[in-house]
Structure 1
Amino acid sequence: MTVLSRTGAALRVLWRWLRIPFLLGLGLAIGFLVPYLLYLDREVRSRFDDLSWQFPSRVYARPLELVRGMPMNAAALAAELDAARYVDEAAASTPGTFHRDGERYTVSRREFIYLDGRERARRIALTLAQGRVAALADADSGAALERVRLDPARIATLYGQSQQDRRVVALGEVPPLLVAGLQAVEDRDFKHHHGVNLAAIARAAWANLAAGRLVQGGSTLTQQLVKNLFLDRSQTLARKLNEALIALIIEARYDKRRILDAYINEVFLGQQGAQAVHGFAAASEFYFGRELRTLGTSEIALLIGLVQGPSLYDPRRNPSGALARRNVVLGVLRDTGLIDAATCSAAQAQPIGIAARAVLPRDRYPAFLDLVRRQLTQDYAGAALSDAGLAIHTTLAPAAQALGEAAITQTLAGLGRRGDDIEAALVVTGARDGEVRALIGSRDVDAPGFNRALDALRPIGSLVKPFVNLVALAQPQRYSLATLLDDSPIDLPQRGGGRWQPRNDDGQVHGQVLAVDALVHSWNLATINLGQRIGVERVRGFLESFGLERNINPNPSLLLGATELSPFDVARLYQYLAADGHALPLRAVRGVLDAQGRPLTRYTLRSGAGDYTTAARLVTWAMQQVAVVGTAHAINDAGLGWLHAAGKTGTSDSQRDAWFAGFSGDTLAVAWFGRDDNRPTTLFGATGGLRVWIELMRRLPTEPLAVPTDGIEEVVVNAATGQRSSAACSGTRVLPFATGYGPLEEESCPLDRVKAWLGVGER
């Protein structure tokens, strides 16, 4: 028997023994593996044929609009640039960079889409001088500019269920170096394999064995995509087999370009708390604050390097490791001919820069974002806000917000132990447009939770007095700032028994006083006298006309502010005065764009008719005197007299609330101090809210207030009687009146006073 015959006989014997197990195995494979492959194929097609993601909505501050001659200082500009993540770079040649040389700035603006269209990238030169923008020009051409916008800061992200930050880009929008470099570093045989690369797995195993640690992976880009789209990150054999099978199916059904497109937008590249960064476009914004197509060689290399280990090479936690990994990637790009040696050396010499300070904006300004959500929910359902990839453009001014936060922190620190447990709120708006520029709802300015700016209902004290006067001055035939009021003791019965016996804060009575002096010095008794003459119900009706949806106190105590409003409510009231007697709704949102940058909603300015404009101007003039010689004279004392600001202090019973509301030519701010448990603060409006206002306005660029004089005439009056007098008489002052309603009959004054004024009889 030949050797061949013996071998054949042995195989036949072996087959008799293995036939049944083989057939069973084959049947099992056909009965299980084929259906399983069909199941996997169906799942892959279901996911890939309609590849879609949930997109968080991004919330932006208002773009800083620079106008030649506008108020601006270095501190405010720095706050704006910092909020928008601009980086100081000597040449300021890359979008998202700036450079300062004394008072001259060069800013390289990023491209962005705003409510009225796309704004291209541009280099801008501006010069500051004496608190204003003295010069504005195109930094490349030198052409003078009247105005220009900077791209807005991203201040928050609204997530759906996925908690994934993502921005989808087409493969054609990705820098070619990133596409080629990704393959060179992660999968050189990507164009040739069918999903699994056995040779690469063998090479990686040998390299890891030689190094004694994990230095190289063997997974293809397709396998990595499978991990992100279909599987968890466990290292079990079953998961690895599933990964390989799904990778083979994907490669069989889809072309390489489709696979790369999905990978570019899906790959996991970073984490911040529960928020995950997916895709190179989102990672570019996260680490560099710029669009993907604007990245340079070193930045592209850093992102490619993160693919191997976003946590291991996180530039925030491990900057040295991230730098080393980036330089390894640059070396690969050089060795594969994607960049030359000079480019590689220059890129390796660059620091990581802003990537070490990467942050995902989420509720960066919690109180303000609370207001944004409340206003948007009137037009958008919750899911539409968080899952549709909207761009929500708000009114927030980063400089006003930052300076407001600093003002609260500094004022509380200055109170020492008196500041313990005192809470704070601040609302800052545009005086003429009602846009909410800053909103702070707690002494801990970054803390979410109870929003005191919107929800703390507190007695407003003397903040109501300008509106008592306004209701009176709306009847110019009966009342003026020169109307005599009785500042004497009051004793009124209260509903349910008891007596109401209010007093002035200084404990004094002042007899017959002019209405303007009662407001300037905040005399309670004279204000009650005025309120009773015009009727408490008139005052109540005027306050209710603002649609505050609060219960306004119907009793005479309303005239001293015994009604509870929030700081935001107070801002709505004072906005009427700041806007020259026009009712303006306070808005926190300018408009919304969809995921493609198309306008969905635009919120425009809608003001009231201005029925009491003249009365509002007279009240504003009187409030300007409050800041000079009245209860808010600290404004003038602090060197802010040039603002000609109008304002009013407010203190509730037992000093439980310390308010100030005031406005310059372009900014209104309402500040409140109080305790959540309603215990006394030991503060007055002048020592609480006013201090915050002064600290804010000391640093915030703003315009002085000029009260329009249309409908106003000035008349010389006797300071004691309010009657028209001659400028030749002593004891006179000039007061504004509604045109045609000044006192007609002129009082005479003693002849000797006239002679003294003329110098008659002097030797």
Structure 2
Amino acid sequence: MVTAKNNRKNSAKSSKTTSKPTGGLWRQLWSFGWKLTLVIVAVLAIYCIYLDQIIARKFEGQKWYLPAQIFSRSMPLYPSAPVSHSQFIDELKLLGYRKVANPRQIGEFSASSTRVELWRRPFLHPEGPQPAQQVMVSFDSNGVASVERLSDHRQLAVFHLEPVLLDRIVTGDGEDRLFVPTTEIPKSVVDGLLLTEDRSFYEHYGINPLAIVRAAMVNLSAGRTVQGGSTLTQQLAKNFFLTSERSLIRKIREALMAIIIDARYSKEEILEAYLNEVYMGQDHNRAIHGMGLASQFYFGRPIGELTLAQQALLVAEIKGPSYYNPWRYPQRAQERRDLVLRLMMEGNKISVEQYKVAAASPLGLRNAARPVHQKLPAFFARVKQELRDRYGDTLLKQSGIKVYTTLDPLAQEAAEKAVSATISALDSKNSGLQAGMVVTERYTYGIAAMVGDRNPGYDGYDRAEEIRRPIGSLVKPFVYATALAQGNNYNLLTPLKDQPITLKNEQGQTWSPKNDDRQFSGQVSLLTALTNSMNVPTVNLGMAVGLDAVATTLQQAGWNESVAAYPSMLLGAVNGSPLMVAQVYQTLANNGRYRQLYAVTAVLDKDNQPLPVSHLPQTEAIDPAVNYLVQYALTQVVQTGTAARLGAAFPGVKLAGKTGTSNDQRDSWFAGFDERNVAAIWVGRDDNGKTGLYGSSGAMAIYRSFLNSRAPLSLRLPPVNGVVQGYFDRDTGVAKQPDCSDVVAAPALADSYHPAANCGESRPWWQRMFGG
């Protein structure tokens, strides 16, 4: 009994002893659990603070690097502006304006045979914001006749079209975008986006658990991923901060960031960031981000001008820009677009009638043949060099820079077409030809177009600026300008010797220049010698006025490299490029005034404030009266001289120009101008081989093709002070009365034009007095 009783006691003690550690274990586990939870919460809090700092830096600093935007010139319209009716309409089409019967909204125009009614878009001009404006532009045979603002019927002194966005200089990650605030994004785009991608956007707190569960069930049922549960905020977090890696850790981080973003920022800020960040497709090696750039990429116009159907297609592309590529898979893209439209109709965002009209619309894509990014290697090289010279090497790395240039997109297009087509045609007789071409604006000194290769988009050796080749007879107008400046000794009818000549240098070497036809006329007038590009009379004239004087005239006109004062210089043994030739012919075209050619007109920083720029000086290189005589002579070159085929191609249009050919026909040159543009063109071989081309058969053919695409405006050549209509004896060049026999009319310098009171003896006074 005692033993049994003791056994029961021992058993109870043992039981107590056994149960005691069990209760202690739970307490230990509980203690460890809440401590671990505190650690996890602390770590999570610290991690969230870390994520919050990352998000704040992104959202409250510079959200994106915005590539530097390069713009063309802004076409100015004013009474007498050298812009034709057809050129203006081409410019509007290039800018994406829609032609309608009656313009009722921004981005539309109508046209008659002499007038264009336009509702211009608002845009940022270097001189300040330009508002939307409705105008009537009238044209006559000389260009613009008047510009009337229709709101108050006021005649405008000057009116600008917005420039063409030529390109964005993308650096770093290759992302390309145009920032557009939500205030400028149509409401239909936002409605379609939310109905399609995130209906509860304004209700959830960054994540939508119900949508995640629903998507998981659908995907499990389908056996593959067919539906996503991510909110717009989650998509933004992923696009901004994360990779496309598929992992649980990445999804958790995405969810945490979405919650923080939603807590920190308003729905409107989140929506604006999403609309400018969302990936919308690929343009070669450039990633298209944001609705603003996508609108230009797919439709070639601002997002505010898109139709309802086009807006729906933008929303449709978010699902998969590659899968729904509208050029490659138009049927898929249309089906997805129509789904967006149907959701908008069912959500009462559009009417049934709007849905039917939009769903029946074509996709309305831009012409894929016209590139979004202009390939302008020669011109962009010039722009970058000017920017480096003015602002240093780091400017283009800054975000949001806007660079306004002088490029005329239509002139560039015509130049590229002319070079490519003409060189291809010439190749049948002489393969391996290359070309360089520069076109400038006659009155502004801006570079309107540059082509540096027979393949204009080739980014390599730039023959518009980098070559140095003998310019041949293109130098001759400066020889004649030097002589005509000596008005008492020379006029356009002064006779020049055209007889065999031999010159000897200090080393005893001789040079016997010959005319191209190897013939001698004995004597020709100064005008005839220049018109027909005769060598021997030019050498005689140049030697008479002095080699140094001719070199000085050329350099004052803008030739920025040294000129060796040898007799052969008079026939073009001066090495230059099309850009250098364009510079000096720009001086001739602009009444003898020299100003350095330029490609950049203004630069705005990210806050749209202009960066300082020095204004290029303008000087008088050639007396305007003398320059007028040279201009007149150059019009005769086109009318009856070596460029007569050009004149015959454009009857009734006054053009000025000069052909040039180097020794052995290795280099073919042409320089000329109409009322609007100056052009300088070289054709040759990179190996300096013979081409078999004269200036008239090579380079001038390119200029003629250029004018075929860009109808020339006839030169006006208004009278200038110091020039009178002169009358000269055909043989002697002596000034005579207009009613005398055998006289030739030609402009003359008033100070040196002294015709005899009567017809009298036609010989010069010194011959009459001393005989001979």
Q: What is the TM-score when the length of structure 1 is the normalising length? A: 0.88
1:644 counterpart residue number:
654
2:670 counterpart residue number:
660
Residue 327 of structure 2 is aligned to residue 303 of structure 1: no
Residue 286 of structure 2 is aligned to residue 275 of structure 1: yes
**C-alpha deviation, 1:665, in angstroms:** 2.8
Q: Which has the larger radius of gyration?
A: 2
1:673 counterpart residue number:
683
Which residue of 699, 703, 712 corresponds with 2:714?
703
2:410 counterpart residue number:
399
Tell me the distance in 2 between the aligned counterparts of 1:50 and 1:301. Answer: 32
* 280-289 vs 631-640, which moves further: 280-289
Tell me the distance in 2 between the aligned counterparts of 1:359 and 1:161. Answer: 26
Over 3 Å counting, the alpha-carbon distance change for 1:359 and 1:687 in structure 2 is: closer
Residue 487 of structure 2 is aligned to residue 473 of structure 1: no
Tell me the distance in 2 between the aligned counterparts of 1:125 and 1:277. Answer: 37
1:443 counterpart residue number:
454
**C-alpha deviation, 1:296, in angstroms:** 4.1
2:228 counterpart residue number:
217
* 301-310 vs 219-228, which moves further: 301-310
Counterpart of 1:411, as a letter, is T
2:422 counterpart residue number:
411
* Contact persistence 2:324–2:330 (CA under 8 A): yes
SS, match of residue 659 in structure 2: strand
The 5 A counterparts of 1:182-261 are 182-208=193-219, 214-261=225-272
1:609 counterpart residue number:
620
Tell me the distance in 2 between the aligned counterparts of 1:51 and 1:736. Answer: 64
2:190 counterpart residue number:
179
Tell me the distance in 2 between the aligned counterparts of 1:665 and 1:355. Answer: 33
**C-alpha deviation, 1:444, in angstroms:** 1.1
The 5 A counterparts of 1:422-501 are 422-494=433-505, 498-501=509-512
SS, match of residue 422 in structure 2: helix
1:96 counterpart residue number:
107
* Contact persistence 2:557–2:592 (CA under 8 A): no
What are the Cα deviations for residues 216-270 of structure 1, in whole angstroms up to 9, with x where unaligned? Answer: 3211111101111111112233322322232233334444333223222222222
1:759 counterpart residue number:
none
SS, match of residue 533 in structure 1: helix
SS, match of residue 48 in structure 1: helix
Tell me the distance in 2 between the aligned counterparts of 1:315 and 1:105. Answer: 33
What are the Cα deviations for residues 58-88 of structure 1, in whole angstroms up to 9, with x where unaligned? Answer: 2222233345665655653454234323345
Counterpart of 1:692, as a letter, is I
2:692 counterpart residue number:
682
Tell me the distance in 2 between the aligned counterparts of 1:356 and 1:14. Answer: 76
* Contact persistence 2:280–2:321 (CA under 8 A): yes
1:328 counterpart residue number:
339
What are the Cα deviations for residues 2-23 of structure 1, in whole angstroms up to 9, with x where unaligned? Answer: xxxxxx9999699599789968
What are the Cα deviations for residues 45-66 of structure 1, in whole angstroms up to 9, with x where unaligned? Answer: 3333424321112222223334
Tell me the distance in 2 between the aligned counterparts of 1:350 and 1:209. Answer: 37
* Contact persistence 1:265–1:280 (CA under 8 A): yes
Tell me the distance in 2 between the aligned counterparts of 1:633 and 1:100. Answer: 36
What are the Cα deviations for residues 166-189 of structure 1, in whole angstroms up to 9, with x where unaligned? Answer: 233444444334334322221122
Counterpart of 2:315, as a letter, is I
**C-alpha deviation, 1:549, in angstroms:** 3.3
2:637 counterpart residue number:
626
**C-alpha deviation, 1:527, in angstroms:** 0.9
* Contact persistence 1:580–1:616 (CA under 8 A): yes
Over 3 Å counting, the alpha-carbon distance change for 1:728 and 1:302 in structure 2 is: closer
Residue 701 of structure 2 is aligned to residue 691 of structure 1: yes
Tell me the distance in 2 between the aligned counterparts of 1:490 and 1:466. Answer: 21
Residue 95 of structure 2 is aligned to residue 80 of structure 1: no
In structure 2, list runs of 5 or more residues that go unmatched.
1-18, 763-772
The 5 A counterparts of 1:334-413 are 334-354=345-365, 357=368, 361-413=372-424
* 144-153 vs 410-419, which moves further: 144-153
Counterpart of 2:353, as a letter, is A
**C-alpha deviation, 1:465, in angstroms:** 0.6
Over 3 Å counting, the alpha-carbon distance change for 1:421 and 1:55 in structure 2 is: same
1:559 counterpart residue number:
570
Over 3 Å counting, the alpha-carbon distance change for 1:511 and 1:587 in structure 2 is: same
Tell me the distance in 1 between the aligned counterparts of 2:371 and 2:24. Answer: 69
**C-alpha deviation, 1:579, in angstroms:** 0.7
SS, match of residue 217 in structure 1: coil
- Residue identity over aligned pairs, in percent, reads 36
1:4 counterpart residue number:
none
Tell me the distance in 2 between the aligned counterparts of 1:101 and 1:579. Answer: 33
Tell me the distance in 2 between the aligned counterparts of 1:678 and 1:447. Answer: 20
2:125 counterpart residue number:
114
Residue 264 of structure 2 is aligned to residue 266 of structure 1: no
Counterpart of 1:643, as a letter, is V
* Contact persistence 2:138–2:147 (CA under 8 A): yes
**C-alpha deviation, 1:674, in angstroms:** 1.0
Counterpart of 2:700, as a letter, is L
Over 3 Å counting, the alpha-carbon distance change for 1:704 and 1:358 in structure 2 is: closer
Over 3 Å counting, the alpha-carbon distance change for 1:688 and 1:645 in structure 2 is: same
**C-alpha deviation, 1:295, in angstroms:** 4.0
Counterpart of 2:120, as a letter, is R
In structure 1, list runs of 5 or more residues that go unmatched.
1-7, 752-763
Tell me the distance in 1 between the aligned counterparts of 2:220 and 2:152. Answer: 59
Tell me the distance in 2 between the aligned counterparts of 1:610 and 1:750. Answer: 38
Tell me the distance in 1 between the aligned counterparts of 2:756 and 2:428. Answer: 57
Over 3 Å counting, the alpha-carbon distance change for 1:58 and 1:615 in structure 2 is: same
SS, match of residue 632 in structure 2: helix
* 664-673 vs 70-79, which moves further: 70-79
SS, match of residue 647 in structure 1: strand
What are the Cα deviations for residues 684-706 of structure 1, in whole angstroms up to 9, with x where unaligned? Answer: 01111222222323442413232
Over 3 Å counting, the alpha-carbon distance change for 1:632 and 1:258 in structure 2 is: closer
Residue 513 of structure 2 is aligned to residue 502 of structure 1: yes
* 285-294 vs 232-241, which moves further: 285-294
* Contact persistence 1:58–1:390 (CA under 8 A): yes
Question: RMSD in angstroms over aligned alpha carbons?
Answer: 3.4
Tell me the distance in 1 between the aligned counterparts of 2:761 and 2:393. Answer: 75
Tell me the distance in 2 between the aligned counterparts of 1:644 and 1:130. Answer: 13
Q: What is the TM-score when the length of structure 2 is the normalising length? A: 0.87
What are the Cα deviations for residues 612-652 of structure 1, in whole angstroms up to 9, with x where unaligned? Answer: 11211111222222112211111232233x23222211100
* Contact persistence 2:624–2:720 (CA under 8 A): no
What are the Cα deviations for residues 168-215 of structure 1, in whole angstroms up to 9, with x where unaligned? Answer: 344444433433432222112223333322211222234445567654
* Contact persistence 1:413–1:419 (CA under 8 A): no
* 192-201 vs 738-747, which moves further: 738-747
Counterpart of 1:609, as a letter, is E
* Contact persistence 1:315–1:355 (CA under 8 A): no
What are the Cα deviations for residues 372-430 of structure 1, in whole angstroms up to 9, with x where unaligned? Answer: 22222222234323433233222222222222222223323443512532111222222
* Contact persistence 1:724–1:746 (CA under 8 A): no
2:10 counterpart residue number:
none
Over 3 Å counting, the alpha-carbon distance change for 1:216 and 1:103 in structure 2 is: farther
Tell me the distance in 1 between the aligned counterparts of 2:107 and 2:397. Answer: 27
What are the Cα deviations for residues 261-304 of structure 1, in whole angstroms up to 9, with x where unaligned? Answer: 32222222222122222222332333334444444433332222
* Contact persistence 2:736–2:755 (CA under 8 A): no
1:41 counterpart residue number:
52
